Amino acid sequence: MNSADPQTTTPNAWLARFAKLVVCVTFVLVFIGGYTTTSGAGMAFADWPLSNGSLNPAGWWENFMMRLEHGHRLTAGLVMILVLIQLFWVLSRRRQLPRVAVPLAVWAFVGVLSQALLGGLRVILDPKGIEATTTTIATTFRILHGCFAQIEVCLVVSLAAVLSPVWSQIVVTPAFRKVAPLGWLTAGFVFVQLMVGATMRHLGAGLAIPTFPLAPGGGFMPKIHNAYVDLNFTHTRFLALLVAIHVILLARRAFVSGEARLARPAGLLLVLLVAQVLLGMFVIWHLRPPVLTTLHVVNGAALFATTVFIAVRASHAPNADAPNESASIHPLPETQA
């Protein structure tokens, strides 16, 4: 049996490690961005891309709100630089990588640019320059900014999955193939749930139903209906249940596929699901404390990214995704076939 560590034997091992670093820093950005929104610091500076007309605004570290927002912008700049480096690195090694790596790297860079632009528009189109602005255009860009963050996370996670040495070692079986359709369907439901959650969050409807699991009055269905209550019910009850069912079904299908490289992330997916449910309940019970609320957002991003990761890995096509050379660089050892 070949006991060599694929991370040390692959010529592009450092690129694979760098892709994982990009994923980690991106999640840090999601946490900082989420905490900035939860704390109401999104409009600590009314200008963009500079902060109070400067790259290093006076007093930003001493002022908590300014520290959050400027720290968010600095971290976003770091992610953009890392994604750009990753793009050039992938392009320089494109003949040694799966073909899908190049478009993923390009889209990851387009995504981070789009996210920065949405963040900027979210600031400069706010007519009052305060977090409490409720105009349609300001709220729309806040929601789009939150949703596109989830898409960017999945792009960098997908690229990391493709660049991993594991990609060239996957053995595709019929059971393996069956995971992909359910994976993409589940990812779609999770993304819809995240969009509804972002809308609810930015409209201030997070506590429109202030109790869980039952609504006020002791029933499952709320007795009072309006846009905020119905939005909250859709997120905290209907879609939450739909997502939970599909995540469990996806994990089960991954477990029975016979491929450990699907079963391991499926196990993580179940852990994230349990954590998301618990965080959601505590957020309601404790009236949306900033740290728990932000962790709920970050864990939701991790749940979505893990679902996409499983779907991407299950969609593996050896012939179509082979490196752009006549022969595979890293053939599968016979002992693993």
The whole-number pLDDT of residue 321 equals 52
Q: Are residues 111 and 253 in the same domain?
A: no
State the Cα angle at 95 between 170 and 318, rounded to 5°.
25
Report if residue 3 sits inside a domain: no
Structure-token match 């905290």, residue found: 236
The answer to whether residue 80 sits within a structural domain is yes
Same domain, 204 and 133: no
Q: Following CA atoms 71, 106, 48, 291 in sequence, which dihedral angle do they give, to the nearest 10 degrees?
A: -30
Q: Which pLDDT belongs to residue 5?
A: 44
Q: Would you say residue 8 lies in a domain?
A: no
Identity of the residue numbered 198: A
pLDDT tens for residues 112-139?
A: 999 999 988 888 887 654 444 456 787 8
CB-based contact 23:156 (threshold 8 Å): yes
Same domain, 28 and 159: yes
- Domain of 270 in residue numbering reads as 170-327
- Amino acid 66 reads M
Same domain, 67 and 191: no
pLDDT at 79: 97
- 219 in the same domain as 113: no
Question: Both 273 and 260 in a single domain?
Answer: yes
> Is the domain of 197 the same as that of 321?
yes
Q: Is 98 helix (H, G, I), strand (E, B) or coil?
A: strand
Please give the C-alpha separations between residue 274 and each of 53, 278, 279, 299, in angstroms, as whole numbers. 44, 6, 9, 10
Final residue before a domain boundary, out of 123, 151, 169: 169
pLDDT for the residue numbered 71:
94
Q: How far is CA 76 from CA 25, 72, 110, 221, in A?
A: 9, 6, 14, 41
CA-to-CA dists, residue 188 to 145, 182, 184, 247, angstroms: 18, 10, 6, 11
How long is the chain? 337
305 and 220 in a single domain? The answer is: yes
Which residue, 146, 158, 144, is CA-closest to 306? 158
Same domain, 221 and 100: no
**156 in a structural domain:** yes
In terms of domains, do 181 and 236 share one? yes
Q: What is the pLDDT of residue 305?
A: 97
Last residue of a domain, one of 169, 202, 236: 169
Residues 129 and 233 in one domain: no
Q: Which residues contact 21 (CB under 8 A, 6 or more apart)?
A: 82
Q: Contact, 113 vs 88, CB < 8 A?
A: no
CA-based nearest residue to 313, from 201, 152, 164:
164
Residues 191 and 279 in one domain: yes
pLDDT (tens place) for every residue of the chain, 337 residues total: 344 444 444 568 999 999 999 999 999 999 999 999 888 888 899 889 899 999 899 999 999 999 999 999 999 999 999 999 999 999 999 998 998 999 999 999 999 999 999 988 888 887 654 444 456 787 888 899 999 999 999 999 999 999 998 888 777 777 788 899 999 999 999 999 999 999 998 888 889 999 998 888 788 888 888 999 999 999 999 999 999 999 999 999 999 988 888 999 999 999 999 999 999 999 999 988 999 999 999 999 999 999 999 999 998 765 445 554 433 333 434 333 3
Residue 1 belongs to a domain? no
Q: How many domains does the chain have?
A: 2
Indicate the residue among 169, 191, 206 that finishes a domain. 169
Asked if 158 and 104 touch (Cβ cutoff 8 Å), the reply is: yes
